[in-house]
A and B are shown apart, each in its own frame.
Chain A
Amino acid sequence: DAGITQSPRHKVTETGTPVTLRCHQTENHRYMYWYRQDPGHGLRLIHYSYGVKDTDKGEVSDGYSVSRSKTEDFLLTLESATSSQTSVYFCAISAIMGREVSTDTQYFGPGTRLTVL
């Protein structure tokens, strides 16, 4: 599983509250991604990172921010959660720091199920 963990695995929160999801990897991968998955929409990219403090927006970034202060951690923050952000969130990685191999192949974490009431 490429050494990827996500926390929490399940969360229920209320509209308007901030929420932070964590993705942690142990194998020094360079690229990290946050996706959301909703029925009928497949996987949609929220944000991604290509190194420490280097991040960029994906196709559905509104309402989300990210931070990567260490190679191993990529945090996704919902600044003020809304019901439309109820979803399953997957973190993914690709590539290994210092070795530009497999930059294309992505491996996924176990996912976080978020419910916003």
Chain B
Amino acid sequence: GENVEQHPSTLSVQEGDSAVIKCTYSDSASNYFPWYKQELGKRPQLIIDIRSNVGEKKDQRIAVTLNKTAKHFSLHITETQPEDSAVYFCAARGSNYQLIWGAGTKLIIKP
């Protein structure tokens, strides 16, 4: 079945350093890949997304890259700040307008 694998499950980085989270998807027909951030006790919120017709998208300190051949996509956060601490989820569009979700990455920013 359709599957999205997300790594690592926990990532700890020094404030100011970069963080990279990687996801691999199984359905070669997937063409939409969003990333969500979820702070403790809050709802998941979309932070960036990418479609299969582009290889990279940036929004200030956040970027997403997509490699369709290898079926993986990554979230890059530069110059990390304490407010970046959260759980991050990747997803890939599957059939019937559903999103197939990764299991999440807990990002810890060390002061």
Query: A: which residues have CB within 8 A of B?
Result: 31, 33, 40-45, 48, 50, 56, 58, 90, 94-95, 103-111
Contact = CB atoms under 8 A, between A and B. Distances in A.
B103 A108 contact: no
Interface in B80-111: 89, 93, 96-99, 101-104
Interface of A is mostly: strand
A41 B103 contact: yes
Contacts, number: 47
Contact of A108 (B45, B49, B98): B45
Interface string B38-64: 000011111001000000000000000
Nearest to A113: B41
A38 to B, nearest CB: 11
Given A41-B103, A105-B34, A31 B97 contact: yes
A45 B44 contact: no
Given A90-B44, A109-B43, A42 B101 contact: yes
Contacts of B93: 104
Size band of the interface chain B makes with A: 10 to 19
Given A50-B97, A56-B96, A107 B103 contact: no
Contacts of A43: 44, 89, 101
Contact of B46 (A42, A44, A105): A105
A2 B103 CA distance: 25
What 6 pairs across the A-B complex have the smallest Cβ distances?
Answer: A108-B43, A104-B32, A42-B103, A43-B101, A42-B104, A42-B101
Nearest to B99: A106
25 contacts: A42-B101, A42-B103, A43-B44, A43-B89, A43-B101, A45-B98, A45-B99, A48-B98, A50-B96, A50-B97, A56-B96, A90-B44, A94-B97, A95-B97, A103-B97, A104-B32, A104-B93, A104-B97, A105-B49, A106-B34, A106-B46, A108-B44, A110-B42, A110-B43, A111-B43
